[in-house]
């Protein structure tokens, strides 16, 4: 559970220990801190993994590929270690649009600047998109932990060991770990192993900070998540959200969200008959926002046609898809 501290970050309520209101600070020499990338093909469960490792919602999820478009940090601080997880968009072969290129560039940049990598694949599958990710990791020298996600869905568990042996021949992985991000299987094992690979050094973020993204960014992502979940394949992924107003007035947080689509036909689908679909999206987003921001939320949504935004680098930069 998070509560709003400012427009620039979220925080969890500080933990307290009975009878010890002023715990001794950790010895700086014993601290470990580092960045850990979560990479994989689209829709393999990276964001779900991040949220469960963080024990709260940091990154939006849906069944639709390419739901994650941004680099998102999840900062987990426990005892003498601070693990900074970096959720990334799915790496894919399609370079035809500027948005696709921007997402791929984000992944490549992250891979080059972390201390360890979690490479997520799914059950007994290994396909061309997985191979693409493996090739992107070819020149990295940091530990790569291969996570076989959704193992709880395997009908024949006996096939898992031969699959692991086959995967181990593809490169020298630091670890190969069967997991279930949604079911929570082996997540403690992941944390223990990741912590072992973190370099010694001081914390880079305050201990109560859980992400580098602003509350305004989270609001936009929650709206986009509800659009994606509500419409599924009815609407292409060329949908983005801008927050035009984010203002606390008394006990109520007023948020105005602008949903951008590529064509008029998409706007009609999104709004629905008599605005019913847009109302459902707004209600679902508002409920999640009130949990995230711990306050009453007044949410107003509009839909605007902005043709070609997904292939316009200036538009992508203004929407935050291309980072300086």
Residue by residue, DSSP assigns 158-179 as GGHHHHHHHHTTTS--SEEEE-
- Band (pLDDT 50/70/90 cuts) for residue 233 is low
Residue 317 CB neighbour total at 10 angstroms: 14
- Band (pLDDT 50/70/90 cuts) for residue 250 is very high
- What is the Cα–Cα distance from 16 to 18, expressed in whole angstroms? 7
Statement to judge: residues 186 and 221 lie in one domain: no
Count up the domains in the chain and report the number: 2
- pLDDT at residue 18 is higher than 70: no
Statement to judge: residues 187 and 76 lie in one domain: yes
- What is the Cα–Cα distance from 186 to 148, expressed in whole angstroms? 11
Torsion of CA 217, 218, 221, 222, to 10 degrees: -150
Query: Does residue 68 belong to any structural domain of this protein?
Result: yes
The predicted structure's pLDDT at residue 319 = 55
Average pLDDT over residues 289-317: 81
- What is the Cα–Cα distance from 256 to 117, expressed in whole angstroms? 37
- Band (pLDDT 50/70/90 cuts) for residue 10 is very low
Contact 224/303 with Cβ under 8 angstroms? no
Six-digit token string for 172:
């020298």
Statement to judge: residues 153 and 59 lie in one domain: yes
Provide the residue range defining the domain that includes 224.
215-318
- pLDDT at residue 137 is higher than 80: yes
Helix (H) or strand (E) holding 302: strand 296-305
| C-alpha closest to that of 45 among 151, 167, 170 | 151
Statement to judge: residues 51 and 154 lie in one domain: yes
- Band (pLDDT 50/70/90 cuts) for residue 90 is low
Sequence-ordered list of residues with C-beta below 8 angstroms from that of 271, at least 6 positions apart, any chain: 277, 278, 303
Average pLDDT over residues 168-193: 90
Statement to judge: residues 109 and 148 lie in one domain: yes
User: Could you tell me the CATH number of the domain that includes residue 107?
Assistant: 3.40.50.300
The predicted structure's pLDDT at residue 30 = 86
Contact 36/119 with Cβ under 8 angstroms? no
Phi/psi for 119 (5° steps) reads -100, 110
- pLDDT at residue 14 is higher than 60: no
Range name among 43-47, 103-107, 111-115, 207-211 with the lowest pLDDT average? 103-107
Using a 10 angstrom Cβ sphere, with 0-12 exposed, 13-18 middle and 19 or more buried, the burial of residue 287 is middle
Statement to judge: residues 35 and 145 lie in one domain: yes
Average pLDDT over residues 187-194: 92
Average pLDDT over residues 206-224: 89
Query: Does residue 93 belong to any structural domain of this protein?
Result: yes
- pLDDT at residue 92 is higher than 50: yes
Average pLDDT over residues 10-37: 55
CA distances from 142 to 112, 114, 174, 204 (A): 9, 8, 9, 19
Sequence-ordered list of residues with C-beta below 8 angstroms from that of 282, at least 6 positions apart, any chain: 226, 299, 300, 301
Phi/psi for 259 (5° steps) reads -95, 120
Statement to judge: residues 220 and 189 lie in one domain: no
- Band (pLDDT 50/70/90 cuts) for residue 62 is low
pLDDT mean across residues, the chain:
81
CA distances from 272 to 181, 232, 262, 281, 284 (A): 34, 14, 16, 11, 16
- What is the Cα–Cα distance from 268 to 166, expressed in whole angstroms? 49
As a three-state string, the secondary structure of 16-75 is CECCECCCCCCCHHHCEEEEEEEEECCCCCHHHHHHHHHCCCCCCCCCCCCCCCCCEEEE
- Band (pLDDT 50/70/90 cuts) for residue 59 is confident
The predicted structure's pLDDT at residue 6 = 35
Contact 144/117 with Cβ under 8 angstroms? yes
CA distances from 64 to 42, 153, 298, 313 (A): 9, 19, 28, 24
Strand order in the sheet with 81-87: 72-78, 81-87, 32-40, 116-122, 144-149, 175-178
Statement to judge: residues 224 and 120 lie in one domain: no
Statement to judge: residues 169 and 43 lie in one domain: yes
The predicted structure's pLDDT at residue 237 = 58
Range name among 185-189, 245-249, 308-312 with the lowest pLDDT average? 308-312
Position with higher pLDDT, 226 vs 239? 226
- pLDDT at residue 21 is higher than 60: no
- What is the Cα–Cα distance from 218 to 291, expressed in whole angstroms? 12
Range name among 4-13, 118-127, 171-180 with the lowest pLDDT average? 4-13
The predicted structure's pLDDT at residue 196 = 93
Statement to judge: residues 90 and 49 lie in one domain: yes
Statement to judge: residues 166 and 88 lie in one domain: yes
- pLDDT at residue 29 is higher than 70: no
- What is the Cα–Cα distance from 137 to 111, expressed in whole angstroms? 7
| C-alpha closest to that of 225 among 273, 292, 294, 322 | 292
């Amino acid at each position: 559970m998070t509560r709003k501290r400012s427009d620039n970050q979220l925080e969890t309520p500080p933990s307290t220990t009975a009878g010890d209101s002023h715990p001794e600070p950790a010895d700086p020499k014993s601290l470990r801190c580092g960045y850990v990338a979560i990479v994989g093909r689209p829709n393999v469960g990276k964001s779900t993994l991040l949220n469960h490792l963080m024990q709260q919602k940091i990154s939006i999820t849906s069944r639709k590929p390419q739901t994650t478009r941004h680099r998102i940090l999840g900062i987990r601080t426990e005892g003498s270690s601070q693990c900074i997880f970096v959720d990334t968009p799915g790496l894919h072969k399609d370079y035809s649009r500027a948005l696709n290129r921007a997402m791929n560039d984000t992944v490549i940049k992250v891979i080059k600047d972390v201390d360890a990598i979690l490479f997520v694949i799914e059950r007994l599958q290994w396909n061309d998109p997985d191979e693409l990710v493996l090739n992107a990791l070819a020149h990295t020298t940091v530990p790569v932990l291969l996570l076989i996600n959704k193992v709880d869905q395997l009908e024949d568990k006996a096939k898992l060991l031969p699959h692991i042996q086959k995967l181990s021949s593809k490169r020298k992985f630091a670890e190969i770990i069967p997991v279930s991000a949604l079911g929570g299987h082996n997540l403690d094992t992941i944390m223990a192993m990741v912590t072992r690979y973190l370099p010694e050094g001081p914390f880079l973020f305050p201990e109560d900070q859980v992400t580098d993204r602003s509350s305004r960014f989270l609001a936009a992502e929650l709206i986009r998540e509800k659009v994606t979940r509500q419409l599924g394949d009815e609407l292409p992924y060329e949908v983005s959200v801008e927050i035009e107003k984010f203002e606390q007035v008394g006990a109520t947080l007023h948020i105005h969200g602008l949903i951008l689509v590529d064509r008029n036909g998409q706007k009609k689908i999104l709004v629905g008959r008599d605005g019913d679909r847009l109302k459902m999206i707004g209600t679902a987003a508002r409920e999640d926002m009130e949990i995230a921001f711990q306050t009453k939320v007044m949410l107003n949504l509009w839909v605007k046609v902005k043709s070609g935004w997904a292939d316009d680098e200036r538009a992508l930069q203004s929407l935050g898809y291309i980072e300086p």
